[in-house]
Each structure stands twice: as C-alpha cells, then as structure tokens.
Structure 1
C-alpha cells in the first residue's frame, strides 16, 4: 500500500515525463514469486490497477526475474520480483533505447537495478605503459620479470626495464580484458543457478559466487589505482567509489574544447590540436623576437657555488630517498 501511495503522490506532483526504479514490495502476477505462501490476488490486482491508473508502464529488464530472496538453499527459500522500473509513456517516447538491467551483488538480499538511457560510444586512443597493481597477485607476473631479466643479459638498466614493460603490457593487457570477461561469465552463472534448488546446482552457485567475489576484489584494486585515493584501504568494498572518482578525474583532466585567439570555441580533436600548436608557436616566436629586439635585457648570473651544485653527479642515496618516499601507487615518468 505504501508503494501505491508513493505512485499517487508522484503522479499528481507534476505533468512532466518521469520514471521510477524502486523496491515496491509488491508483485503483479504469480510468475513473479517462487516459494512461500501464495500472494493474495487482491494485492496483485490492486498493485496492477495502481500502475495503470497512474499511467505507468513496466520498463522490463534483462537478467534474473527475481530481485529478492530469503533463506536460500533451505525449504523456506522464497524468491520475488519486488524491484522494478516504470515510466510514463511520454518518458518512454523520449528515451527509446532505455534499458533496465538486473545486476548481481553478494552483499544484499536485493539485486540492484541499473537504468541505461543510451549506449556510450568510446573513442580509442593510444596509452603509455602503466603498471597494474593487480598483476602482483598473478603467478605469471614474477616469472615474466625474472625471465626478462635473465634473457637481457648485459643490457643496461633502462633497456631491461623497457623490454620488461613491453612483455608485461602484452601479457597484462590480456589479463585485464580477461578479468572483465570472467566477471561477466560468473555473473551469468550466478543468474543461471540463483533460482535452482537442486543441491548440486546450489553448490555451482556458491562456487560461481566465490569466484565473482575474488574478481570483484581485483576490480577494486584496479579502480583504486586509478582513483589516486591512497587514504582508503583495499577490502573496504569501495569499488563504486573508486570507479566514480577515477571516471570523474579522467573527465576533469580531459580538454573538451578550447577558445582560439578570435574568441571562437573549437571542440573537434583536430581543431583543439591546431589551437594549441598555433598558441605555443606564436608564443615562443614572440619571445624570441622580443629577445632579439631588446639587447639590453640582462639575465641573472648564477654563482660559482650554484654552478658547482648543478654539475654535481646525483648520488644513488638521493635517488633511493626520493623513490622510497613515494607512495606505492605513484610512478616515475622518464
């Protein structure tokens, strides 16, 4: 009844298009419940009438039909579709590609819903080498490093590091892609066996759940490294925070548009590059010309003591002190 009252309040609050995703604690048909006592027909019909009266349509879903369960694996096991997404026809006309997905979690008796309004198109770009912390937990990681170090023989340090980074990138890039595939694989296995009541299939669900949790821990390390939030600890189940922070940080660091010297905004990548190139070309040209036209400019002269410090070789202890003072997730870029 609370869900019905909430829908009534929302429907009269505004005439704008709207949608809602929530735990309504009600079902509309017998197919949306398994186990336990049969839902009274008057409650199902009442909830359905409320949906129709307020001009709402079920958005459907992909994933498991049952979004809530209790007493899994016992004779009291109950499953219901208590969570759903609904919207007005006006809203559905605005977002024709909207899709509700039932996700998998291991920390709640409710499965969360994710609403996607449209699919985002990602632009591929070249990236420099990045060491991934999740590699450290893999057996192959140590073998690759040791093999690279032995095979490269008498090559200098930087050449060995370069060779090792190339092989790690080749191996590790596939590992990250495989991690995403495996997460999807075990999520589907959990969905497949979630409602099965055979003892063997319950064991299959538990095994998939264990693998799923292990992969989520890796995913947490992956996003934590990109979020640069060093004050948080691994194991705090902060994956969503790390992902959100890393995504926000990436968007913040991205140049989306620039204004040229004529005051016009440029948004295409080629135009942005042209604005940057022209700006610095003209800047350094003007500096060079001003220096040539101003022979009286006098630059500060360093002292002999300062000169001696500048040419003094850098000691190994100084390098070690700087490197060891850095956080483990920070990197040096040569």
Structure 2
C-alpha cells in the first residue's frame, strides 16, 4: 500500500467485489496510511499493525453493516470477533505466516496457540506462506515433504478443515516468463466444525490482479440453519457409471485432513454436488454430440458407414439409459 499503483489495484478490487471486510498483509506502511486508505474507499472502521523495519504490516477494515471487535493482534495475525446482536457470532483470524522457510515451525506453533475451546465458530485465513500438498507448487525445486507434513499436522492439531478454493489452483507467482517461473498456493482458509455448521454453503474463490505477486482470495460465508428442507444432499447412482467419479472423489477425500467427520462429509458432499452439476451439463452435451454423429451417418450406405451407424446408435442408447437412471 506504499505506492499509487497498489492503491489503484486495491480500488479496482473494491469496485469489482464490493467487500464488507478487508484484510491486508504486508502493507509496508504505518497505521496512519491505512486510516487514509479506509476513509478513501468507504470503510468506517479499521485496525492496523505497523510494519517492522521495511517489511510486514497488517490491516483490517470493515463497513458499517458489520459489527466487529479486534480482540488480539501481533505482527502475524489480527483476531476479530464478528458480533450479531449482543453475542459473538463467529471468530475470524487473519493470519500471516513467517515468510522465511526456517521459521515455518514458529508459524505452526503460533497457529496452535490461537486455538480456543470457547464454543465459537472459528475461521482462519489468508497468507500462511506455507503449502499442504505437492500440487500446491508448480515450477523448479519441489516443496520439502517435511514441511508439507508439518503444516498438515498443525492444521489437524488445531481441529481445522480446509475450505475448498475455486477460481484457480495457485495464489502466488514469481519470475513470470523465465526458466524460474513459479506458482504456489500459499493463501488459503480453514475452519472448525462449528463454523462449517454455521456456513455450509460458503464460497472461497481466488481472483487475479495485475502487478502483484499475490492474488486475493475472497470468502463469502452464507449463513443457513440446518434443516432437512434447507440442506439436503442427494447421491445420484448414475455418477457411478462415469469412470472418473470414484477416482476424483477418492482423491478429494484423501486430501482433507483426518479430523472431524462432519466438516469432512460436508466438504466431500459439496464437491460431489458440484461434480454432479458439471457432469449433468457435460452429459447433455454428450447426448447432443452423439445425435450429431448419428445424423452424419444415417444416409451412408457403405459397409463401414452402416457399421459405424449401429455402433454410434448403441452409444446413444447407453447415454439415454444413464439419463433415465438419473431421473429415477
């Protein structure tokens, strides 16, 4: 936030997404600059942690339709209570992990120290400067397995489950267009099972911005009350006819930390529901394309053409059987 280009990018982000709450990491400025920024873009409240030397700096800001209370902070996090009525509705910890690889253990221990058994839904998100899976990095020099396992263990110790990210696989990029080009996913979000109960229909997405190595992530916590009518998941038998289904679900399930069953079930059922919606649209496309193939063969009289006609009509019949199974 120390230059005009960064402020312009920030302004465009506000106009595009109209967020009620913002967390900024590595602001590289003093708190007074954050005050000016908040007022410029219509945020009525703010809280800032000054930079240390020439680096660091954290800030949160929020609009009038939110009631927030900052309860704790350091150079690595800002802990916020979101208030509804007279009560604490949920807790949001805006986290910034140590960027130095040799300080990963300190980040993990700091995260463990933030755990509170106070019965409040808790979400912790943003820049962990750390990765969970081999697939979180693309480029030279894979991330050490010991660090992947250490971060996973810390998340499990905290009783947290990762929120599924849409919009892209990576959130940080360096050395674009060179032989050292690297993509990493170091920005993410986690929540305890109470938060999952409160916001099962959340959306977490990544959006690209120019002239920044970090892409912002956006959390939309849609609040619902559990009931049979409001939140009902249906498994479709026809999915089992798609060879990739079991493989993709198994891989997704295996990537979720082995902790509380409820958020794990919610996460995988949400994944299957999204998979099913995409499958149905693709399925109808398959039927349409298969009819087009048959239409090109229907008037052929040569032996090869007739043979292919019967083969393709058999494929169409199989697709229609799957469709009938879906509607049953």
- TM band (smaller chain): 0.3 to 0.5
* Bigger strand fraction: 2
More helix by share: 1
TM-score by length of structure 1 reads: 0.34
Bigger radius of gyration: 1
